[in-house]
Amino acid sequence: MINPAIAQAVEFTKTYKEYKDAPIPIREAMCNKVQYPGLLPGPRDGDVYAGRCRGRRIVHVGSMAWFGKPWYSPEDEAFGKHGGYSFDFSALYTFPHTSEERVILEELDAFWRTESSMAKVSAQTDIKFDAGFLSPHDIDKLVAVGLPGLIAEVDAMPEGDFRTGLQIVLKTVTDVCEFYKKDAEEKGYTSIAKNMAAIISHAPATIAEALQIILIFDLLSHERHYELFQLDVAIGDIFVKEVDSGSITEEAAIELIRAFFVMINENGDDTVCRLLLGGKGRRNAKNADRFIVAALKAEQLHKRVTPQVTLRIYDGMDADILTLAYDTICITGTLPLLYNDDAIIPGVAEAFGVSPEDAKNYYMVGCGEYIIAPHSPGLLITNWNVPKTVDEGIRAACGAETFDELYACVMKHMTAHAVRLAEFVAMVVKTHNKSIAFLMASLLVNDCLARNKPVLDGGARYIGVSIMGHGYTNAADGLTAIKKLVFEDKTYTMAEIIQALDANFCGYDDIRMALTNMPKYGNDNADADAMLSTLWHDISVIAKKAGQDCGLDFHTMASANPGGYYLSQEMGATTDGRLEGTPYAICNAPTAGNDKSGLTALMNSILKTHPANGGTVTNFKISREFFVNERAKFEALFAAYWADGGQQANITIVNKGDLEAALKEPEKFPNLLVRMGGWSARFIDLEPYIQKEILTRTLY
């Protein structure tokens, strides 16, 4: 008997071949049908909800799968985000198999090397990036109309292949719910069976039913990648009705929310799975706020890496919620993450070219790159190694006579790279549209059903990407240094600086010391801070134009993903004094340890960052002693930070010495959470060079 995952891959491939010449939505719907519920395990003892994944799978159709890429090999263990028809190209090397299974996997591998969506993308370019996306659903609509409401809406659409495909997919969703209902009944899990029966027949009427249907739709859309936009809006009214009527106590409701968190944590990927609460313009702010209070209390009990509970704050919101959020951060160590609507909404409107009303729907998909939810899918496609492009520019401008001339050359290289990335994004979208309709995503991304079009083919209101930029701080600090040392003081020539870089500063200690001692971002230094803000904003403007020229609705720059840990390993020495392979500064923060002028100075530097961007993250490492003993001062500092336009804060609260102690006795610190940038992690699970970077961050 062959492995069930291999058997499912065979059946999936057979179905794909059978419907290869069928209309795009029909082929997808039939392949999607083969996926479920075959590989879905039923609930187990202790579960409050159904909706688990069963280990690894080999093939998948949908917007997101994390698989081995087409160029995977034992030497190059390349994994990434697939979209469309996806095959795990690591399966041939890593999946347990007999000789019979190996033959089957070899045949499957050969077939999908030309037919998988990522293979079709990679055949057209030498850019080795991802090609998947996440689509934060309109869960407010999902809870309001339920599964029967979606079925009725699709049935009322004009006849056509798109409608037929959606109908087949919704029948599959219903079949999954029936599967869970039957399995729960057989195992005696009466509450799960009851909730499943309810969501099959009507829109959710209880907290448990609402959370259950959300889990099902995210499972079938993204599997291990949960993206929950304004959960408080979707559940708030039901929460208040149930609690106020006495149908459920607030304590019991909190337990239901905590169980929902547990399901995401055990089922989802550690690096994504965001749950957003709060924000301006909510239709039911008062009821939604009551749900937020319960959700934060649930998070205090949960205290795990995921979901990434995130709170959007604004002037005029209930002040007690922010106080509770700070309390929760103290208990969990890192969550919730805080975003300031008053600063971000105008910035998003400018960066994305959308109305302030649509900008209110900004959502930090994945690691924190903004999209307009639920009006645009979150394309997780490109990374930008900013110091590398700056390095190319300064080398090309080695003979420049002025800094402005050198900077113009850097921007020329930035423009070429931005155009290349925008063309790649547009090509990915075009390639996907030739073979797949992304039916599950299309169900709950506005305005696909109203327009009668798939999500990437004119259905979504906006199509674009926030590029994950890395190393802005190092690039900007490096430019600040050479502006001063080469063009103002004329201490060294550019040729001498480049010689030192090529030698990784070996034999050039004087040059490295001079570069290192130049002003650095994070100390309220006007020159250093202006350089970073200008560089990031100029790149964003360039990227926006490149996207527009390629027909994208937005194409902007984020600084939210901790990929600077990894991209820095392929980068030589840089003009900020950084040695080859040393981690970049993570997101919109100083290079670890370079902020030496106090927390107020750090905040003042961050406040100068231009708000028109595609997503920003800043890590603040706060000692528990300061938070507890100087709580009033802590809150006053952050109140001023928010009032003056602070965009975001990832606050990690740790005891002095805990990180060092965890290195020596990791078994004593299993739940010590730290913020990497785009996601949280258990400190003891991190690689040593990442642990070192976190240790080096200034503790306030």
- Whether residues 446 and 559 share a domain: the answer is yes
Closest CA to 616 of 547, 524, 526, 533: 533
In a domain, 184, yes or no: yes
Q: What distance lies between CA 417 and its chain's CA centroid?
A: 23
The residue assigned the tokens 């190393």 is: 471
Pairing of strands 680-682, 673-675: antiparallel
Closest CA to 445 of 380, 381, 379, 373: 373
What pLDDT sits at residue 669? Answer: 83
The b-or-e profile of 181-205 (16+ CB within 10 A means b, else e) is bebbeeeebeebbebbbbbbeebbb
What pLDDT sits at residue 392? Answer: 97
What pLDDT sits at residue 656? Answer: 79
- Whether residues 327 and 463 share a domain: the answer is no
Dihedral through CA 387, CA 391, CA 392, CA 395, nearest 10?
A: 170
Alpha-carbon distance 519 to 254, whole Å? 49
- Whether residues 397 and 353 share a domain: the answer is no
In a domain, 18, yes or no: yes
- Whether residues 212 and 356 share a domain: the answer is yes
Residues of the domain holding 89 = 4-134
- 698 DSSP assignment: P
Identify whether 43 is preceded by a cis peptide bond (ω within 30 of 0): no
User: pTM of the prediction?
Assistant: 0.95
- Whether residues 327 and 264 share a domain: the answer is yes
Closest CA to 330 of 630, 110, 586, 601: 630
Residue 470 DSSP SS3: strand
> 49: Cβ–Cβ under 8 A, 6 or more apart, which residues?
43, 192, 195, 208, 211, 212, 215, 259, 260, 263
What pLDDT sits at residue 292? Answer: 98
- Whether residues 162 and 105 share a domain: the answer is no
Which residue ranges of the chain lie beneath pLDDT 70? none
Beta carbons of 515 and 394 less than 8 angstroms apart: no
Give the end of a domain, one of 99, 134, 169.
Answer: 134
What pLDDT sits at residue 659? Answer: 85
Length of the chain: 700
- Whether residues 302 and 386 share a domain: the answer is no
- Whether residues 114 and 225 share a domain: the answer is no
- Whether residues 158 and 296 share a domain: the answer is yes
Overall domain count for the chain: 3
In a domain, 284, yes or no: yes
What pLDDT sits at residue 473? Answer: 97
pLDDT in tens, 102-133: 999 999 999 999 999 999 999 999 888 888 89
- Whether residues 183 and 275 share a domain: the answer is yes
Q: Using CA of residue 638, residue 640, residue 642, residue 647, what is the dihedral sign?
A: negative
Q: What distance lies between CA 449 and its chain's CA centroid?
A: 26
- Whether residues 417 and 543 share a domain: the answer is yes
In a domain, 458, yes or no: yes
What pLDDT sits at residue 126? Answer: 87
Alpha-carbon distance 204 to 197, whole Å? 11
Give the end of a domain, one of 85, 105, 134.
Answer: 134
Type of residue found at 565: Y
In a domain, 623, yes or no: no
Name the β-bridge partners of 681: 674
Alpha-carbon distance 422 to 551, whole Å? 9
In a domain, 468, yes or no: yes
Give the end of a domain, one of 579, 596, 617.
Answer: 617
Alpha-carbon distance 407 to 409, whole Å? 5
In a domain, 487, yes or no: no
- Whether residues 148 and 89 share a domain: the answer is no
In a domain, 491, yes or no: no
What pLDDT sits at residue 96? Answer: 76
- 535 DSSP assignment: H
What pLDDT sits at residue 250? Answer: 97
What rounded mean pLDDT belongs to the chain? Answer: 94
